[in-house]
Amino acid sequence: MRLVSWNVNGLRACAKKGFADFLESSQADVIGLQEVRAFEHQLPSEVAAPDGWHTSFCAAERPGYSGVAIYSKEKPSRIETELGVEEYDREGRLIIAHFGRTAVASVYFPKGSGKDRDNSRVPYKLGFYETLFDRLQTLKKRGPVYVMGDYNTAHTEIDLARPKTNKKSSGFLPEEREELDRWISEGWVDTFRAAHPDEPDHYTWWRQWGNARADNVGWRIDYVFASPTGAKRVKDAFIWPEVTGSDNCPVGVDLK
C-alpha cells in the first residue's frame, strides 16, 4: 500500500501541469493533497472525480484559499473534516479518511509568518498543532494513523539549506520546532527521517525565485508522521523532487 502527500499550490493550476498523469504514475493507493485552493464544483470533472478514484474534499470558507483533499482507490469507511474549533475548521485544513481501523489524514498546517511577515500567526499555528495533536492522540488508540501534509515547519538544521539565516523565520522558530519534538516524544515517527536519519539535502519546498529549486536551496516541511503502530508497517519513505507542478514536491511511504 502506498500513501502519497502533495501540496499542489492550487489544484486547478496543477491540473494544467500534469496532475492527471501524476495520479496514475504515482502508483499510490491514497493521495493526500494540500492547498487545493478551490471548491469542488470549480474543478474539472476529470480532476474532481477521476475514473478509478474516490475523492473527498474540505475547502476553506474563503475562496481560493487553503483546502485539502484525499484521493483513494478504496472507498473510505468514514470521512472527518472538523476539529470542532471554528477558527481552524473554517480554513479547510484537515481531512481524515478512515479505512477500517486505519486512519489517513491530509493536513495543511498554517504558516506562522502572517501577511506582513511579522510572525503574527505563530500563536494560531501552534494552537492548530496542539488541537490536532489532541485529536490524533485519541485516534491512535483505535489503530494505525498516518498524518500526511505540509507542516510548514523544518524540524532540525538538516531539514533546510540555510538554517543560520532562518532562525527568526516562521517555519524554523524554536517554539515551532519544539512542537514537532513533542510529537516525537509521544511516539509519533517522522517516517522519512527514520528511514534516512543522517542524509542532508532532502527538501520538499523551494522558493519560486532565485533559482532555488535548481540549486536545491530548500526546506523539508512536508512529512508523513506515523503513530507507533503505523510506523511498524512502514517499508520505505520517500521524497520525489523530480515531480514538478508546484513549489512543493510529493512525499510518501510504502507500507508492508
Please give the positions annotated as active site. 150
The SS3 call for residue 51 is coil
Question: Rounded to 5 degrees, what are φ and ψ at 185?
Answer: -65, -25
At 38, the amino acid letter reads A
Strand boundaries in the chain, DSSP class E: 2-7, 30-34, 54-58, 68-72, 78-80, 94-99, 102-108, 145-150, 189-190, 205-206, 218-219, 222-226, 234-239, 251-255
Nearest-angstrom CA–CA distance, 180 and 51: 37
Q: Which helix (H) or strand (E) holds 125?
A: helix 122-139
Q: Cell 506515523 belongs to which residue?
A: 226
Q: Cell 536545491 belongs to which residue?
A: 216
Nearest-angstrom CA–CA distance, 183 and 190: 9
